[in-house]
Amino acid sequence: MIHTQQKTEKTLRIIPLGGLGEVGRNMMVLEYDKEIIIIDVGIGFPDEDMPGVDFIIPNPKYLEGKQKQIRGIIFTHGHFDHVGALPYLINQLGNPVIYTAPLTRGMIMKRHEDFQNMPKLKIVDVKDGEEVMLGRNFRAEFIHVNHTIPDDMAVVIKTPIGNLFHTSDYKFDEKPVNDKPAQIERLREIGKDGILLMTGDSTGVEKEGHSLSESVIQINLEEVVKNAKGRVIAATFSSLLTRIQQLIYIAEKLGRKVVIEGFSMRSNVEIAKQLGYMKIQKGTIISAEESEKLPLHKVLVLGTGAQGESRAFLMRVVTGEHRVLKIEKGDTLIFSSSVIPGNERAIQSLKDAIYRQGGRVFHYNMMDIHASGHGHREDLKQMIGLINPEFFMPVHGNYSMLVIHGDLAESLGIPRKNIVIAENGDVILAAKDRVFLSKEKVPANYIMVDGLGVGDVSEVVLRDRQVMSKDGMFVIITVIDSETGKVKGNPDIISRGFIYMKESQELLAQTRKKVKEIIAKTASGGQGKGFNWLYVRDNLRDRIGQFLYSKTKRRPMILPVVIEI
């Protein structure tokens, strides 16, 4: 159904800059009457076809020139896919006021310390049930929900055209660990008050039933640790504070000391402890060096690396690169995280290496020792039922997840015409009686972060890296007499990732001969000092590329270097 917007009618503009059609990189812009608020500014992780890229961040181009209109950034919780891009974009966003819960604030501030020459952040703490005014047109109410980290907040955005409900990442857990259950009655009241549009987390929509309670996970983890004859090494995400707290509880109960390895995990634990979100008995935490003096069955080690990351703590232990720890025969390894798509091979290689060194691995496919922080289908049904929105827009998930979540909402009675399936860069318009996709698009392409470089890895650079990672590079260095246009001596050739030069002498000889022929023909026997050597280089690259493909069926990157003397 096509709607025509009346010129006199003001609409709320909803613009996802990340998090739709992907998992991670969450960022959403709300704009009304020249005022803007932002929900989350997160990072995403690179695909396998992005060699060298550390992570990706949202594109802020739409907000250029609008910094003075931004009334604040709301952060729902402290996971990097929701807060991690802030240091890279804070200046471009005009350093607006930040509204978030105390633990999230602590994690944002700690990360901010790692970046030099950053402006001082302006952060307002918010708590469950609190309301804050952002400008003239936006009032935000924060509602506690459960996740794998404390202080996760759903948010009601009250605007002149109606109320929006943004779920954040969530699941329903009647018996959470080190947390309180979600405010079910308050969620029901919010629904009764009327919600024009609900934007709902879609990450777990393909999984049946309810997400497992953390109390079930703790029982199973305790069973594994209790039965372990030697040392226990548990790997999980550095920000999965619920799981870290569970393992510390278990270690204290069973008389084990705890070693925490990895800078990010130690930092997060220290922040949570200082703010009262983690309870750790005095003397529980020891150093890796101190653990070497204890019997193995008295030690539990916590660290990162369950995804097979090359520089994470667990990989360094397995490869013998850790300064103190190594895998001992009889060690029990716990992988307490689900596999991120694309990491399967790295994780399998890591498990194989552990078994070769005498360790044993427990992971979530063997028993319930990890629960997703994202609600499964029954959780999602429950949230839609409580909020009972007039319009529904799935967010946070691959495109198929968004469509399936939309189908789920329709099965619960929301009319198909009231369900918006959007993608990053879409502009969704909301009025008092309708919400619909406009034809407008804004830039939402990836901004890639590589080391200290932000956005300097373009599509062209990425394609070059892909070519080199697939077929390698082939450098031809040719010295040419600028008077005669003829090659002096033999061209030098450097091959990286294409052929092993010692075993390819015949191909190299043919290539050198071909180089001379191409230059001689291009230069037409010598054109003197006025000849266009840029044209020679381009012709050399194209013709040698064709020649090597005819011989090898591979396409390395050809880099001709022409030196005139």
Q: Which residues carry out catalysis? A: 201, 374
C-alpha angle 109-111-116 in degrees, rounded to nearest 5: 95
Backbone angles phi, psi at 454, to 5 degrees: -120, 110
Q: Round to whole Å and give the CA distance between 554 and 472.
A: 9
Q: Which two tokens stand for residue 155?
A: 């948010």
372 has binding-site annotation = yes
322 has binding-site annotation = no
Is-contact 285 258, C-beta < 8 A?
yes
In angstroms, the Cα distances linking 74 to 83, 353, 499, 532 are 10, 43, 53, 58
405 has binding-site annotation = no
Residues in the chain: 565
77 has binding-site annotation = yes
Instruction: Collapse the DSSP code of 270 into the 3-class scheme (helix H, G, I; strand E, B; otherwise coil) and give the result.
Output: helix
193 has binding-site annotation = no
Instruction: Name the helix (H) or strand (E) containing 318.
Output: helix 313-318
In angstroms, the Cα distances linking 408 to 206, 382, 412 are 10, 11, 7
Q: Which two tokens stand for residue 306?
A: 């369950």
Instruction: Name the helix (H) or strand (E) containing 408.
Output: helix 399-411
Cβ neighbours of 280 (radius 10 Å): 18
Short-list 187, 198, 95, 79, CA closest to 142? 187
- Identify the burial level of 258 via C-beta atoms within 10 angstroms of its C-beta, where 0-12 means exposed, 13-18 middle and 19 or more buried: buried
Sign of CA dihedral 412, 416, 419, 424: positive
The order of strands in the sheet holding 492-496 is 492-496, 473-480, 557-564
Q: Which residue has the tokens 């804050």?
A: 132
297 has binding-site annotation = no
Backbone angles phi, psi at 533, to 5 degrees: -75, -20
Q: Round to whole Å and give the CA distance between 339 and 183.
A: 30
471 has binding-site annotation = no
Q: Which two tokens stand for residue 378?
A: 């029954």
Sign of CA dihedral 384, 387, 393, 395: negative
Backbone angles phi, psi at 46, to 5 degrees: -70, 150
Is-contact 327 354, C-beta < 8 A?
yes
370 has binding-site annotation = yes
Q: Round to whole Å and give the CA distance between 297 and 256.
A: 7
Q: Which two tokens stand for residue 210?
A: 């309810």
Q: Which residue has the tokens 């000889």?
A: 509
Query: For the chain, give me the number of helices (H) and strands (E)?
Result: 15, 26
Instruction: Name the helix (H) or strand (E) containing 561.
Output: strand 557-564
396 has binding-site annotation = yes
147 has binding-site annotation = yes
Q: Round to whole Å and give the CA distance between 269 and 99.
A: 22
Binding-site annotation: residue ranges for Ca(2+)? 52, 54, 450
Binding-site annotation: residue ranges for substrate? 370-374
Binding-site annotation: residue ranges for Zn(2+)? 77, 79, 81-82, 147, 169, 396
